[in-house]
Structure 1
Amino acid sequence: MIHMRPYNSFETKNVKFLVDQQIEFATIQITETGLKKSILDATAPVRAYFEEKNIHDYNLQLQGPEHKRVIDTYIMTEAAQFLTKTSLYRPVTKKGDPRLWVNKVRDVEFLRANDIFALIAHKNILFVINLSIVDIVKVCLSSIDTPLKDLILGLSREKNSVSDELLRLIKDRMTDWMPAEILADTGIGRTVESILGIEMNPSKNPDFKGIELKSHREASRVRNTLFTQTPEWAISRLKSGKAIVEEYGYIPDGYNHKSLHVTLTANRPNPQGLGLLVRTQLGLLEADEFSLATLEDGTFRKINDVAVWKLIKLHERLLTKHRETFWIDAETKHESGREFFRVSEILHTKNPIPSQFDVLLDQGQITVDFLLCRDSGGDTYSFKIKGKARPLLFPQSETYNLRGT
């Protein structure tokens, strides 16, 4: 697994400014080998960002130079921009590991091994900024207009306009009582998306122009779903949801086959003996079987491995799904066998902290629900967070009170 080095203080200042301006970007380190050979590994975060922004999907790309993809690219300096191309490809050798290279990057400015670049995708064009050299903060706060300043502040205004548009739509359409489309746990969420013209689909990307929507009943104290993610079966002891059900499932009343609908937490094992173990040093989250008997130190003895997730993959899902989120609270009432609702409050969050995700998992504030069935398929593994823990994961937030609007 390729790990990028930590940011230095100059790079940290640049990254913080981009985050504060709500700029979505990926970062990549220019390794010494990469600089010599004009070749860079397209790391998992970069691949996920390219796919999210509809720039490129390496999973669909065949190996060999004839399948290379070329993207129009601007290299941004403090004072100017230079048009070039970025090559995205999978070589014939070494299993076709995803690669990229920004052409002519050496010709534009002083470039050192181990510099870190920010990659910003916008309207099918890639913008590349050397975070180790370019003072983004100085450029954007200057009275002088430059291409870099226009790019960053323009994207920031665009991002704010989307959240303003969404808030306006909710105020206009959802602050009066209206019927939920279906009488079910998901009834309000489905109705909100329907009113906003969002079609139901299995996409892992946010719902409304980059903003994720999470709706729930105001009186409900249920946990909020962050995302779903299947375990890494290749490194898990059990290789499928069916195998987990066979070993740990039960037959519910009225059924003739096994199911497993349970919550796993790192605090204590559930009645099936299943729980979570955060292995930060190994970069893993484990679903394990534990003894139900408490040890002298208050912990539980692990008996067996069950399934595994890579923490970096979970971080990618979190950042992709929740760069910006509207958590919608709704008042509800029932009349003539139907449920009615109106939006009362919205928590608007931005830029979750991946390291906090691991801490909250370990503290039992984030849990995993197994919804598995041996025969029907469609297994889900839902990562959920308790409402009181949201500010710890999403420190940038704003609350909109819509009562009486």
Structure 2
Amino acid sequence: MIHMRSFNEFEKRNIEYLVNLNVDFTQVQVTATGLHKSILDATAPMRTYLREHRIHDYGLQKKGQDFKVSKPTVIHTGIKAIETRTSFYRPETKEGDPRLWIYKLKDFSEPNDIYAIIAQSPNQLHVVDLTKIDIQKFCETSEVNPLQELVFGLSEIRDSISIELLHKLFKFRNEWIDTDLSADTAIGRKIESLLGISMNASQLPDYKGIELKSFRDARPNIKKNLFCKVPDWDISKLKSAAEIVEKYGYNSNGIKSYRNTLYSKYPNSQNLRLNVNYLDALLEIEEDEILGNDFKKISDVAVWRLQTLHQQLLTKHHETFWIEVNSRKIENGKEQFMLNKIEHTRNPIVSQFDILLEQSLITVDLLLGRPKKDSLGLIKKGGDSVIFKIKKNATSLLFPESRIYNFLTTTLNSEQNLCMVTIQNRFSPQKMRSR
């Protein structure tokens, strides 16, 4: 079930700005019906957020108006901060669907506006209209305002061992580097070799807790690999990759395999689709039936526990260097590459992961039934792969503290100091007020 419409570009910029400043938040879409009836649905991601921030736990709440709970809330218009309250309740219906309402919201909202809900403390909420308010404009101004105070007060920016790794990589700036093999993974393996990292299949990050992800040049539609994770076969209808290939695979060069991408918004060419099942905390692969411009589920295929995926994301990408390179072919057909830029991210916001899956900004590649031997009959490395990928332009929606180092313009002074003037940040600290 998709809980809100797709973000527009303005909303994406607002979300990116908050994520970059490590501001944790949840979102809600205000519908026309909701405005008329003064009702907002407390979706599963919102309920999780409210519970984790000790604002409210619907699981402990009884049905009916007598058990309604309210918390102090501030509605931010940019210039002003309007004090109000938010009520949390479960109606006396069979399901008792969790609901909330932010009083005075009708004075500022239109149907389909999307709001960020921010917990400052267990007893204080803030709401900001992502559809209308230019958050960066109000934060990066010399005129102090309540929204600026809130955002900067919640922001955390830290340094880490990344300086050491940066200096090692900058030793190879402006050099064309030969790869050792012809493969999609050739550049990543070569970079690890230059850093003295041995090849392994560990699920842990590559360099002292920092994950390394490399990709070729600046193609706008490229996707970045997040991690590999097969479904939880123990709770899946189909119990292996082989069963998926048997039921949904197709013949290619005499070999039956399955190679395709899964999205949440629509089925792929084999009518398989992802579904984020918040109620059971699962990411599901389902087979759909196409009904004109719509579709409906007809069969289960496989599932992941969302908790497992969240843990994999946090473990693999606690801190990451996304290394972009320029590549070329030389006369003997070998590939060379030059380091172009690094996007440095830390601490993904887990609550965004599920939403980006729903928005199809995170997708899953199934590469199943690939040959186990090469043309010479030798055993090939690798095998079946299930790869979670994020669109290049959506990385900043998942990772806060995103910073870009350009190998042509960034200057490194010493092991403990970076020349920040030449670093291209996702936001502009020089415009921000001193905290």
TM tier relative to shorter chain: 0.5 to 0.7
State whether residues 172 and 339 of structure 2, in contact with CA within 8 Å, keep that contact through their aligned partners in structure 1.
Answer: no
Looking at secondary structure, tell me which structure has more helix per residue.
Answer: 1
Partner of residue 347, structure 1: 343
Q: 2:399 aligns with which of 385, 394, 397?
A: 394
CA-to-aligned-CA distance 1:35-75 (integer Å, 9 cap, x gap):
xxxxxxxxxxxxxxxxxxxxxxxxxxxxxxxxxxxxxxxxx
SS in 2 for 1:282: coil
Aligned residue type for 2:392:
G
- Say whether residues 1:327 and 2:322 are aligned partners: yes
Output one character per residue of 1:237-261: Cα deviation in whole Å (capped at 9) or x when no partner. 1011111110000110x22x31001
Pair 1:404–1:354, CA change in 2 (3 A): closer
Does 1:241 pair with 2:241? yes
The answer on whether the counterparts of 1:241 and 1:374 sit within 8 Å (CA) in structure 2 is no
Query: For 1:219 and 1:388, how far apart are their aligned partners in 2?
Result: 11
| SS of equivalent to 2:266 | coil
Matching of residue 212 in structure 1 with residue 220 in structure 2: no
* Contact 2:321–2:345 (8 Å) recurs in 1: yes
Q: How many Å separate the matches in 2 of 1:198 and 1:160? A: 23
**How many angstroms does 1:234 deviate by?**
1.6
How far does residue 375 in structure 1 lie from its aligned partner after superposition? 7.0
What is the rounded CA distance, in whole Å, between the counterparts of 2:298 and 2:188 in structure 1?
39
Distance 1:207 1:266 in 2: 30
TM-score normalised to the size of structure 1? 0.59
Write the mapping of 1:252-331 to structure 2, written as runs, cut at 5 A: 252=252, 254-255=253-254, 257-294=255-292, 298-331=293-326
Contact kept? 1:242, 1:374, Cα under 8 Å: no
Does 2:365 correspond to 1:369? yes
CA separation in 2, counterparts of 1:299 and 1:174?
A: 51
Q: 1:316 to 1:161 in 2, by over 3 A?
A: closer
1:323 positional shift: 0.6
- Tell me the distance in 1 between the aligned counterparts of 2:266 and 2:344: 32
SS of 1:314's equivalent in the other structure is: helix
* CA deviation after TM superposition for structure 1 residue 404, in Å: 5.7
One-letter amino acid matched to 2:356: L
1:125-274 aligned at under 5 Å gives the runs: 160=159, 162-220=161-219, 221-252=221-252, 254-255=253-254, 257-274=255-272
CA distance in structure 1 between the partners assigned to 2:370 and 2:398 by the alignment: 34
Amino acid at match of 1:270: N
CA positional deviation for 1:271: 1.0
How many pairs were matched up?
A: 253
1:292-334 per-position Cα deviation (integer Å, ceiling 9, x unaligned): 333xxx4311110000001111000000000100001101122
Instruction: Name the aligned partner's letter for residue 332 of structure 1.
Output: S
Q: Which moved more, 1:389-398 or 1:372-381?
A: 372-381
Native 8 Å contact 1:371 1:379 kept in 2: yes
Residues 257-276 of structure 1 deviation map (CA, whole Å, 9 limit, x = unaligned): 31001110112111111110
2:345 touches 2:399 (CA, 8 Å); kept in 1? yes
Residue 431 (structure 2) aligns with = none
TM-score by length of 2: 0.55
CA–CA distance in structure 1, aligned partners of residues 344 and 271 of structure 2: 37
Residue 338 of structure 2 aligns to which amino acid in structure 1?
R
User: Given that residues 370 and 383 in structure 2 are in contact (C-alpha distance below 8 angstroms), is that contact kept between their aligned partners in structure 1?
Assistant: no
Note the aligned Cα RMSD (angstroms): 2.5
Higher relative contact order (CA 8 A, sep 6+): 2
Q: Measure the CA separation in 2 of the matches of 1:381 and 1:388.
A: 22
Structure 1 equivalent of residue 34 of structure 2: none
Q: Deviations over 1:358-402 (max 9, x none)?
A: 000001010011111187493221100000110000122111011
Q: Is the 8 A contact 1:217 1:332 kept in 2?
A: yes
* C-alpha distance 339-404 of structure 1, shift in aligned 2 (>3 A): farther
Aligned to 2:91: none
The 5-angstrom pairing of residues 33-48 of structure 1 reads none
Equivalent residue in structure 2 for 1:384, among 389, 393, 397:
389
| Counterpart AA for 1:362 | E
Query: For 2:339 and 2:265, how far apart are their aligned partners in 1?
Result: 34
Q: Which residue of 2 aligns with 1:94?
A: none
| In 2: Cα distance, 1:380 partner to 1:187 partner | 17
Q: Which residue of structure 2 aligns with residue 6 of structure 1?
A: 52
Gaps of 5+ in 2: 1-47, 56-121, 123-155, 373-381, 411-435
Instruction: Among all aligned residue pairs of Structure 1 and Structure 2, give the percentage whose two residues are the same amino acid.
Output: 48
- SS where residue 320 of structure 1 aligns? helix
Asked if the contact 1:246/1:374 (under 8 Å) is kept, the reply is: no
Unaligned runs of 5+ in 1: 10-131, 133-155
CA contact (8 A) 2:371 2:383 kept: no
Quick one: distance in 2 between partners of 1:314 and 1:326?
20
Q: Which residue of 2 aligns with 1:107?
A: none
CA contact (8 A) 1:179 1:341 kept: yes
